Amino acid sequence: MKKSPNILLILADQQRYDCTGYSHTYPVKTPCLDGLSATGMSFTNAYTHIPICCPARQSLLNGRRPEAFGALWNYDSALVTGALAPSEYSWPRDLKAIGYRTGHTGKWHVNPEHGPAEYGFDDFIDEEYFAYRAAKYPDAKAQGGWYGGTDPVPAEDAHTHWLARRTAGLIEEYEAAGSPWLISMNFREPHPPCRPSSPFAEMYRSEEIPRWQSFEDDFKNKPYIQRQQLVNWGIENFSWKDWAPIVARYYAAISQVDDAVGIVLSKLDELKIQENTIVIYSTDHGDMCGGHRMMDKHYVMYDDVVRVPLIVRWPGISAKASVCNDFVYNLLDLPPTLLEISGLEPKDFFHGRSLVPLLRGSTPGDWRTEAVSTYNGQQFGLYTQRMIRGSRWKYVWNHTDTDEFYDTRNDPGELVNLIHDDEYRPVISYMRRKLYNELAGCGDGLVMSKWMESQLLENRKL
């Protein structure tokens, strides 16, 4: 009897959608991801529900927006915040209960005091890398601060490829045991500082890196905090000449991750289990990396950080080289999807929906037409935002500053804020109400107050 499908979930850290080869946007080389896209379904409108690491990853395990369980920002900042507790729901436990072997490899970033074993994973592989690296390359030093540099450790011993080999070994071990398995593989790249190894560090010449379409932002009519972000990082005077080598390293880190992904996919082929293994590739969120002249993420809801790659290869179900343009959440929609694929019922409290109908080529009539993302502040202070993004319009509710409204069809770089243009008042009102309905349905505390509710329902916002 054929066993239940294996699940290989691969997450990068801070990768933009437009920095994949298959997006045909910027000249980033990702042949392995392009091959995965050619044998499965790629999503052109996948959005993160929160563009910050810890809450995004916690939601992935729990199936709810982080505001529902009190994880508002990264727990390793100077600010005090909650994290998903082991007592909360975690769907890998459900898979383990029906006979799946479960492993987590690479970056954790879910709880500072509790590890993967307390959330349903049998095995955890990651922390031993640092001892391995220190023993083999005791003189290797990081370069370049937050702007990155070249890793003196060769690619074969960089975290990307060490992780790929260890994950491949775990696949072999699980497969030999005969049970279906779930492995969550988590890269630390291309999160800044980007330090690609040779030969990837030499792949891209800074003088050949095209400017981001969003680079020339004058911040006219934009929230104050965006300009302040440049000052906080000390990059307010950076030109494209300053940014180009940083972006080149970002490209290189992505290509290095792509190569490591290829090692793991080759193991599936070697073991002849690719036809019974669902492979998913995504990330927690994107990266500004010079977009809008900014660094990292924080205080913005631009597509640079909220639009993300998502590829699902489900042999025999998802058509090869298929493209889905529906709006999906890469992390909120995965818990119900993976439970359904495994023969289990999605939970009523999930905030996402199963992607199984889309993977089968059918879009339900009531499928969402927009995506909503949230933000609650981080190391430069508390600053809350809520975004709703449709096929053309994007509205950002900035509670303590001016709102944002973009026509992404005619202004894909999101450079012109139209929030005060009378022509768009009807559609802004519509987007505000839609945003309110989504937030209220998920129990977001920001709209539970009448003082805040009126901004969306009665347009009482300057």
Mean pLDDT, all residues of the chain = 96
Strand-pairing partners, residue 8, are: 183, 279
pLDDT band at residue 1 using 50, 70 and 90 as cut-offs = very low
Is the entire prediction scored with pTM above 0.85? yes
Residues 35-87: pLDDT tens digits? 999 999 999 999 999 999 999 999 999 999 999 999 888 887 656 678 999 99
Could you tell me the strand order of the sheet in which 393-398 lies? 371-375, 385-389, 393-398, 404-407
Q: What is the DSSP letter of 212?
A: P
pLDDT band at residue 396 using 50, 70 and 90 as cut-offs = very high
Going along 339-390, which residue ranges are E strands?
371-375, 385-389
pLDDT band at residue 412 using 50, 70 and 90 as cut-offs = very high
Run of H or E including 287: none
Strand-pairing partners, residue 328, are: 46
What is the distance between the alpha carbons of residues 11 and 166, in angstroms, rounded to a whole number? 16
Share of the chain above pLDDT 90, in %: 92
Residue type, 270: E
pLDDT band at residue 430 using 50, 70 and 90 as cut-offs = very high
Residue 449 has pLDDT above 90, yes or no: no
Residue 378 is predicted with a pLDDT of: 81
Residues 218-244: pLDDT tens digits? 999 999 999 999 999 999 999 999 999
For residue 204, how far is the Cα from the chain centroid? Answer: 24
User: In the structure encoding, which two tokens stand for residue 343, read together?
Assistant: 């023969």
Residue 3 is predicted with a pLDDT of: 77
Find tokens 């509670």 and name the residue. Answer: 399
Strand-pairing partners, residue 151, are: 197
Picking from 188, 302, 248, the residue whose alpha carbon sits closest to that of residue 19 is 248
Strand-pairing partners, residue 123, are: 103
Q: HSE-up of 108 (CA within 13 Å, CB side)?
A: 22
Residue 118 has pLDDT above 50, yes or no: yes
Summarize the confidence of residues 302-308 as an average pLDDT: 98
For 396-416, the DSSP string reads EEETTS--EEEETTT-TT---
What CATH superfamily classification does 6-363 receive? Alkaline Phosphatase, subunit A (3.40.720.10)
User: In the structure encoding, which two tokens stand for residue 330, read together?
Assistant: 């890469």
- State in Å, rounded, how far the first CA of the chain is from the last one: 63
| Contact in structure between 377 and 384 (CB atoms under 8 Å) | yes
| Contact in structure between 392 and 427 (CB atoms under 8 Å) | no
Residue 2 is predicted with a pLDDT of: 58
What is the distance between the alpha carbons of residues 302 and 228, in angstroms, rounded to a whole number? 16
User: In the structure encoding, which two tokens stand for residue 157, read together?
Assistant: 């011993």
Length of the chain equals 462
SS3 323: strand
Summarize the confidence of residues 321-334 as an average pLDDT: 97
Pairing of the two strands 311-313 and 101-106:
unpaired
Share of the chain above pLDDT 70, in %: 99
What is the distance between the alpha carbons of residues 423 and 426, in angstroms, rounded to a whole number? 8
Residue 76 is predicted with a pLDDT of: 75
Residue type, 158: A
Residue 77 is predicted with a pLDDT of: 67
